[in-house]
Structure 1
Amino acid sequence: MDVVPFRIWPPVALGLPLAVGVAVTGVWGDPVTLPAAAGPLGWLLLLGFACWNGWSLWLFRQHRTGLLPGQPTTGLVERGPFALSRNPLYLGLVVLYVAIALLAPSVWALCLLPVGVVALEWGAIRPEERYLRARLGSAYDDYAGRVRRWL
């Protein structure tokens, strides 16, 4: 097996609930109004996403391993964001989701975030963990024992 057999491609797992939430807000409105701080917080989260995921992708490139879903993994990256989370890119996508929901603004999108996280966990993270265990063996098991899945 050269690549992760995703059940759901990660951007779809989060993008679909986000799009549904924003669409529901557009059609029916939100049950409550987000505070004025939602916009600036959204921009701050967007900047955080760009830095965090940029750093993570840079480390992948430095280690010459697959950058994107569908590319083979050739080794473990254990520095930087990967020392804090086994899934920093997925964590970054969750932050991006919240940023977009705040900037939209869409309370419904925020309410659907758990659906996206469950879809991401089931559709991408679990299959990826099985792939990494099969591909990297005890090195991945040791890493998984030291570093939490999320934070």
Structure 2
Amino acid sequence: MKFLECKIPPALQFIIIAALMWWISDSIPDLNYSSSQLKWLGISLFSVGVFIGLLGVYEFWKQRTTVDPHKPEKASSFVDTGIYRFSRNPMYLGLLVVLIGILFYFANPVNILPVIGFVLYMNRFQIIPEERVMANKFGEDFFEYKQSVRRWL
């Protein structure tokens, strides 16, 4: 399964999962629980997720390093400042929080399955390969960082 590592961009994975969640809600409407509170919670989480992701992008921009998820070896510097003090993967965490927002917005319990699938896929085929590259490239600094900061949150 190594051929899938860092192949499907996280943004595309996000779009696929979000579309699947919409399709599930549209295809199984009897399970949708419509509530204005859940919709507002969903919108709020969506907004928080976008903000978290943008904070991650900003830190990479400040360090002038790549955000290209296909080529983690192109990273020119090790980023452990800003939001990276709390999460090793705030851009991916942001995508996850947006998906959770969509989950609440559509309020269909079946939609938890694609969200879980997103986390499992990201861990195995994106984050673990990236961490392998970062460990080889940044050595002890990355190892210490990995020990002190959680993968997601």
Query: Which of the five TM-score ranges fits, normalised by the shorter chain?
Result: 0.7 to 0.9
Name which of structure 1's ranges 36-45 and 15-24 shifts more when overlaid on structure 2: 15-24
Aligned residues: 147
Q: CA contact under 8 A between 2:88 and 2:149: conserved in structure 1? A: yes
Name which of structure 1's ranges 136-145 and 8-17 shifts more when overlaid on structure 2: 8-17
CA distance in 2, matches of 1:120, 1:13: 9
Q: CA contact under 8 A between 2:89 and 2:152: conserved in structure 1? A: yes
More RCO (CA 8 Å, sep 6+) = 1
CA distance in 1, matches of 2:61, 2:24: 39
* Structure with greater helix share of residues: 2
Amino acid at match of 1:141: F
| 1:36 match | 36
Amino acid at match of 2:129: P
Q: CA contact under 8 A between 1:8 and 1:119: conserved in structure 2? A: no
Distance 1:121 1:24, change over 3 A: same
Does 2:33 correspond to 1:64?
no
Does 2:105 correspond to 1:82?
no
CA distance in 2, matches of 1:140, 1:30: 48
Q: CA contact under 8 A between 1:8 and 1:120: conserved in structure 2? A: no
Deviations 1:83-106 (A, max 9, x none): 001111111110011122333454
TM-score, normalised on structure 2? 0.83
Unaligned stretches of 5+ in structure 2? none
Does 2:144 correspond to 1:142?
yes
Q: CA contact under 8 A between 2:52 and 2:93: conserved in structure 1? A: no
Unaligned stretches of 5+ in structure 1? none
User: What RMSD, in angstroms, separates the aligned Cα atoms of the two structures?
Assistant: 2.0
TM-score, normalised on structure 1? 0.84
| 1:98 match | 100
CA distance in 2, matches of 1:79, 1:138: 17
- 1:81 CA drift (Å): 1.1
